[in-house]
Copies of this chain bind each other. A is one copy, B any other.
Amino acid sequence: MRLTRTLEERLVALYRQTKVVGGLFRSLGQEADAVGSAYALERRDILSPLIRNLGAMLVKGATPLEILRQYMAKGDSPTRGRELNIHFGDTERGFIGQISPLGDMVPVMAGVTLTFKMRGEDRVGLVYVGDGATSTGAFHEGINFAAVQRCPLVVIVENNGYAYSTPIAKQTAARQFVDKALGYGVPGEQADGNDVLAVYDATKRAVDRARRGEGVTLLELMTYRRKGHAEHDNQSYVPDGEIDRWARENDPVDRYIARLVGEFSFTKTDLEAVDDRVSREVDEATDLAEQSGPPEALDALTGVYAEPPSAEPLWFREGTGGVVDRHERAEGWGTYSAIEEH
């Protein structure tokens, strides 16, 4: 959580220096739900994060250097500059990159975990959706498919109060998202998303269920988005005082530190050691990331298909050589016999 927060703060600084290309998305105040849930998985398990699940990706082994390069559109970023912010993945390390159209990852993860089941592999999948994304057809079709197939999949609804500017009362008439579980015939559970240990416990129960072959669980984690949808959003639609109250009374990092100190007798030195390590890591990563260059333009044409591995630059592009010269249709060409001779 500390790493998530420090790294995002660094990104804000870089954003202000216009070193981030495009928008910046924060998970301030939601770090616990991402981190706590990801820790409930084993290395071999696969999760599919949202834009606000930076913490889950870090748990799964994504590095600050990757994140920084990606946000800065570097040529050696994990997607070589093809995708933005934290849209990237690595099936080896166990996370699959997100896609903008909301909800689509639910059916995709249904297929990932269907494969685990078909192959008898002892693996579990976890897919996050926002409160807003529950309104999409993809969410519905995906979770229903997984429920019927009893795929080993945990579906986490990360209820952070808003979808962009839209409060949940305009997203659903249901009292809570966990109420949707019944309609899919799967167990549902709700947990305090800002209590990292509660998140871990609830996710672990769902993961265990999936691993035992009991299929899908819908888990609603209650949290709060303290920043705007992205950095440019001034949150004018948020009632006065709401953000402050959450910051003051329900910050997941503060709460975890309080427990570490109170229940697990962490000392100030212990905590400072963590902070130092994190700062150092992020500093080093920033230095390295800044050194990388942008991608090579021609790389834009590679890898649409396995075969052919690359497209050709179009003829009108400087340096392609291939301009359309006046066609040469030889005298007589164009009759059947003429072509026979050629």
Whether A183 is near chain B, meaning CB under 8 Å from some CB there, is yes
Shortest distance between the CB of A290 and any CB in chain B (Å):
43
Across the interface, which residues of B come within 8 angstroms of A183, CB to CB? Answer: 174, 179-184
Whether A147 touches B135, Cβ cut-off 8 Å, given contacts A179-B182, A182-B179, A182-B182, is no
- Does the CB pair B173–A215 fall under 8 Å? yes
In the complex, chain A residues 129-145 whose Cβ is within 8 Å of any chain B Cβ:
135-141, 144-145
Partner of A147 from the list B141, B172, B180 (CB cut-off 8 Å) is B172
Partner of A184 from the list B139, B172, B181, B185 (CB cut-off 8 Å) is B172
Which residue of chain B has the shortest Cβ distance to A135 in the bound complex? B144
Across the interface, which residues of B come within 8 angstroms of A140, CB to CB? Answer: 135-137, 139-141
Whether A186 is near chain B, meaning CB under 8 Å from some CB there, is yes
Whether A235 is near chain B, meaning CB under 8 Å from some CB there, is no
- When each residue 111-145 of chain A gets 1 if its CB lies under 8 Å from chain B and 0 otherwise, what string results? 00000000000000000000000011111110011
Which residue of chain B has the shortest Cβ distance to A185 in the bound complex? B173
Partner of A171 from the list B148, B170, B186 (CB cut-off 8 Å) is B148
- Does the CB pair A137–B141 fall under 8 Å? yes
Across the interface, which residues of B come within 8 angstroms of A148, CB to CB? Answer: 169-173
Whether A175 is near chain B, meaning CB under 8 Å from some CB there, is yes
Which residue of chain B has the shortest Cβ distance to A170 in the bound complex? B148
**Once the chains are docked, how many angstroms separate the CA of A65 from the CA of B144?**
41
Shortest distance between the CB of A21 and any CB in chain B (Å):
33
Which residue of chain B has the shortest Cβ distance to A218 in the bound complex? B183
Across the interface, which residues of B come within 8 angstroms of A185, CB to CB? Answer: 172-175, 179
Shortest distance between the CB of A43 and any CB in chain B (Å):
29
Whether A182 touches B174, Cβ cut-off 8 Å, given contacts A137-B141, A138-B137, A140-B137, is yes
In the complex, chain A residues 188-220 whose Cβ is within 8 Å of any chain B Cβ:
215-216
**Once the chains are docked, how many angstroms separate the CA of A172 from the CA of B150?**
11
Across the interface, which residues of B come within 8 angstroms of A186, CB to CB? Answer: 173
Across the interface, which residues of B come within 8 angstroms of A137, CB to CB? Answer: 136-138, 140-141
Shortest distance between the CB of A159 and any CB in chain B (Å):
14
Shortest distance between the CB of A145 and any CB in chain B (Å):
8
A residues contacting B by CB (< 8 A) are 135-141, 144-145, 147-148, 150, 169-175, 179-186, 215-216
Residue pairs across A and B with Cβ atoms less than 8 A apart, 16 shown, are A135-B140, A135-B141, A136-B137, A144-B172, A144-B173, A147-B173, A148-B169, A148-B170, A148-B172, A172-B184, A173-B184, A180-B183, A182-B182, A182-B183, A183-B183, A183-B184
Q: A135-B144, A173-B215, A179-B185 are in contact. List 18 more A-B contacts (CB 8 A).
A: A135-B140, A135-B141, A135-B145, A136-B137, A136-B140, A136-B141, A137-B137, A140-B140, A147-B173, A148-B169, A148-B171, A148-B172, A173-B185, A174-B184, A174-B185, A175-B185, A179-B183, A182-B182
In order of increasing CB-CB distance, the 7 nearest A-B pairs are A137-B137, A173-B185, A180-B183, A140-B140, A174-B185, A147-B173, A183-B183
